[in-house]
Amino acid sequence: MKLYDTYDKTLREFSPLSPPRVIMYVCGLTPYDDAHLGHARTYVAFDVLKRYLIYRGYRVFHIQNITDIDDKLIARGEELKRDPLEIAEYYHSRALESFMELNIIPADVYPKVSDHIHEIERIVKSLLDTGYAYRTSTGIYFDISKFSRYGKLSNQSLDQINRHRIEPDPTKRNPSDFALWKYTQDYTWDSHLGKGRPGWHIECSAMALKYSQGNIIDIHGGARDLIFPHHENEIAQSECYTNRKFVNFWIHTGFLTVNGEKMSKSLKNFITIRDLLSREDAMVLRMLLVSSKYSSPLDYSDTLLAQARENYMKLKEFYSRVSNAKGPISDQENLRIIDTETTRFFEEMDNDLNTPGALSALFNIISHFNTHEIDLKSAMILKKFLNDVSFILGIKIESDLRGKMDMLLRGLGDYRKELRSEKKYKESDRLREIIERAGVKVYDRDRDSEYIY
């Protein structure tokens, strides 16, 4: 399996540092409003990557932070006369509801910045002690001149980088030196660093390093607009703090536009996930998102949504035909087409998650059987393949049965939670064994259980 690494600018073979375990850190939400289609695009893309790694036999430990200390959140708190932390909790909970509808497997941990001030302080102090950071009257800043590889991720020179700075701070040594700790009067923490709050970039480094337990992260990513300055700065401060490589693969999703324009409330083309899912099947949206390569630009439109709806219905109808096939025992032409196109499906997925190519192979099979009867041997092979496709792409194609299964599993999950709360661990484990014998993988979290089938 090959992935494109934004840092090296190369397509190379993916190999985790401690197989079969994969540590994946995805930059999470700054939840000051409802999650939008751009967020759906990014988190569905990383969900497909996670699912494909699981399918290939890896154990993925997925970290996705919550940025609950941020200037946008503070401004929203002032606007609504509410605590920014409460606002973040509210909108992140709503986002998780939307992600669940989109069949996104939850992260293993969702660390909050507000819970990791101590870790942030420790890193900033170390960077000060080793000379990578310095104090001014406005804050503590990272000195980018001390990191020779600064700009490599975004492929920019220092001259190009300095042009990004709109509001120069005369107290800084270099216009592009970035804040590790800000001295502020509003929304502050009492700290040995000085009264203030953390800078944006140091937050992710602190949480990534904590939950990876100091190990190199196999995959770190997010939307393309995070390449600079956020991820560029993460690399600089993290590698200077640890004196080693921070991340093995940097993965970024392409921009999403709406009818050829950047999504914006002022243009009245801002679409939240909740709004779209109130009038459209979540699996149709998911089909739309996987129909474009994760790293390519995606221009959302009603036409594209209608095409995704049509393709989703074709897939569901084909699955129903396969499940009810009553054709001859075997047909060699059918088997040849299936072998060719299923092989191509996985070759495309192995080629930097080329989901459009993989879907092309899938729909070539469907097109073939539009004019050919499904024989029983082909039906058996196709049933397994379609179930694999459903898991890998996260597209539910047994909607009625899966809905009932979800309801059943939620009930069983509630019962197992009740058993564990009563310390009836033997009964809980026995129920888990019964569920897993049915082919459903159970992942117990701190609060609830998750079922993947």
- The C-alpha angle 278, 283, 288, rounded to 5 degrees, equals 100
User: Which CATH number is 261-393 given?
Assistant: 1.10.730.10
pLDDT recorded at residue 451: 56
Which 3 state secondary structure label does DSSP give 339?
helix
Rounded Cα distance between 290 and 275, Å, is 20
Query: What values do phi and psi take at 352, rounded to 5?
Result: 60, 40
How many other β-carbons are positioned within 10 Å of the β-carbon of residue 207?
Answer: 26
CA dihedral 276, 313, 287, 270 (to 10 degrees): -20
Query: Is the alpha carbon torsion for 68, 73, 74, 79 positive or negative?
Result: negative
Cα–Cα distance between 37 and 26 in angstroms, integer?
17
- Compute the C-alpha angle 371/376/381, nearest 5°: 90
Per-residue model confidence (pLDDT) at position 186 = 86
Give the pLDDT of the chain (453 residues) as one tens digit per residue: 999 999 999 999 999 999 999 999 999 999 999 999 999 999 999 999 999 999 999 999 999 999 999 999 999 999 999 999 999 999 999 999 999 999 999 999 999 999 999 999 999 999 999 999 999 999 999 999 999 999 999 999 888 887 765 567 889 999 899 999 999 988 899 999 999 999 999 999 999 999 999 899 999 999 999 999 999 999 999 999 999 999 999 999 999 999 999 998 888 899 999 999 999 999 999 999 999 999 999 999 999 999 999 999 999 999 999 999 988 999 999 999 999 999 999 999 999 999 999 999 999 999 999 999 999 999 999 999 999 999 999 999 975 555 556 667 777 877 888 888 888 888 888 888 888 777 677 767 655 565 555
* Buried/exposed code over 223-244 (b: 16+ C-beta within 10 A; e: otherwise): bbebbbbbbbbbbbbbbbbeee
Q: Where are the domains of the chain?
A: 2-253, 261-393, 399-452
Helix %, strand %, coil % for the chain, to 5? Answer: 50, 15, 35
pLDDT at 404: 57
Which tokens is 8 given? Answer: 């090296």
Say what the pLDDT of residue 400 is.
53
**Buried residues in 365-381 as b, exposed as e (16+ CB within 10 A):** bbebbeeeebbebbbeb
Give the C-alpha separation, 50 to 104, whole Å: 10
Type of residue numbered 343: T
CA geometry: angle at 339 spanning 338 and 345, to 5°?
85
Distance CA 324, CA 439 (A): 21
- C-alpha separations of 410 from 281, 308, 392, 434 in Å: 21, 29, 22, 15
Question: Contact 376/330 with Cβ under 8 angstroms?
Answer: yes
pTM, full prediction: 0.87
Instruction: Give the pLDDT of residue 414.
Output: 75
One-letter identity of residue 275: D
Residue 7, token pair as written in the block: 């840092």
Query: DSSP secondary-structure letter at 230?
Result: I
Rounded to 5°, the CA angle 301-368-338 comes to: 105
Residue range 2-253, CATH number: 3.40.50.620
